[in-house]
Amino acid sequence: MEFPISKRMASFQESVFAELSQIKNSKLSDGNPMIDLSIGSPDLPPPNFITDELARSSKNPDLYGYSLTGTEEFHSAVCDYYKRNFNVRLNQDSEVLLLMGSQDGLVHLPMVLCDPGDYILVPDPGYTAYAAGAGMAGAQIYSIPLKKENRFLPDLQDIPEDILRKTKLMILNFPGNPVPAMATEDFYLEAISLAKKYNFVILHDFAYSELYYDQKPLSFLSVEGAMEVGLEMNSLSKSFNMAGCRVAYAAGNKHLIMMLSNFKSNLDYGVFLPVQAAASRALRDQSEFLTGLRKVYRKRRDVLAEGLNNIGWLVSKPEGSMFIWAEVPSPYSSKDFAIELINRAGVVVTPGNAFGQWGEGYVRIALVQPEEVLKQAVANIEKSGIIKKVLA
């Protein structure tokens, strides 16, 4: 029997991620060890103050009903976090919304704002959920290239005016995934001015807000005019190693919060109350946990970047996020080089073109293994001879 499939599913074809996973699994089934640096999933556990709160709350039999919305405690914790860290004052009743992971909001907001034929401006390369949201809304994507010569910031002046007039949403992401770039206040001000002129919304994906190495990244909401035009979405997945808990939030313009809240009220029944309690505890935390987490990622970054540079693969150290965005040695394409690394070095990375056409020529390497494993990855790559071959 043949089953009909909707036209929108044409936006969800099998990706290069699935293809690389099949190659990796085939190698594993043949007994070949693999070092997987392809997926940005934290390998570290949450701190004890989170797991202790989750364990305590989960024993309360009264907390197993539908939560429906974010609790007052959770909304208040988000507001305290923004005031303490970014000097941004939020109204907990109207300017904060609980999300089931930030991808929940990233995919659903386009469905709230866009009709078929409308445009969404997305960074290219960019996180794959942005395209998924556009596909669900039937919107058109206009890719804004992130180029090395522009410090991987979008050149907003290059966007054609006829596209801007049809734009309903611009998505930004700093520190970024897959490109770990950092935005400036001047860049945000330019984006806000453009949004006001052409009447579109800005969504800032701030999932890597706490993973930085020298300079603390700017919250979009801290920039003058941001609350008039947009939202910021943030997740506890990366900052507090709570990826499986699926808890995040949107904050910003109250009208956009209300619109997204109305939409979500038709889709889900909220986040498990003990998870919200644990997330609230995390957002209020003022211990040294995040400082220690950044030190872990800094050491990993330095071990991997310096190791790769020492064997002749020249890569830059990122200022933020949990990825290294590495140029592929000529004459390889992104995908061919990623496959070579699997076959010859037992190291799995993600080809840059999986994130958009402007990702060609790069691979994304996730800092999701201990230092000793990263050292082994460098040793494997050196032993494989891939780098020596292209340098010869």
- Residue 389 pLDDT: 67
Could you tell me where in the chain the CATH 3.40.640.10 domains are found?
A: 63-284
Q: CB under 8 Å to 359, separation ≥6 — which residues? A: 124, 125, 178, 334, 351, 352, 353
- Residue 14 pLDDT: 63
Q: Residue 330 to residues 151, 333, 338, 340: CA-CA distances in angstroms? A: 21, 8, 13, 13
- Residue 311 pLDDT: 96
Domain 63-284 -> CATH class: alpha beta
CATH of region 7-45+289-391 = 3.90.1150.10
List the pLDDT tens digit at each of the 392 positions of the chain. 888 888 887 777 666 777 788 888 888 888 889 999 998 889 999 999 999 999 999 999 999 999 999 999 999 999 999 999 999 999 999 999 999 999 999 999 999 999 999 999 999 999 999 999 999 999 999 999 999 999 999 999 999 999 999 999 999 999 999 999 999 999 999 999 999 999 999 999 999 999 999 999 999 999 999 999 999 999 999 999 999 999 999 999 999 999 999 999 999 999 999 999 999 999 999 999 999 999 999 999 999 999 999 999 999 999 999 999 999 998 999 999 999 999 999 999 999 999 999 999 999 999 999 999 999 999 999 999 998 766 65
Helices within the chain (DSSP H only): 16-29, 48-58, 72-86, 102-113, 128-137, 161-164, 185-198, 226-229, 236-239, 254-264, 273-284, 289-310, 334-340, 371-384, 386-391
| Three-state DSSP state, 208 | coil
Could you tell me where in the chain the CATH 3.90.1150.10 domains are found?
A: 7-45+289-391
Sheet holding 362-366, edge to edge: 323-327, 362-366, 350-351
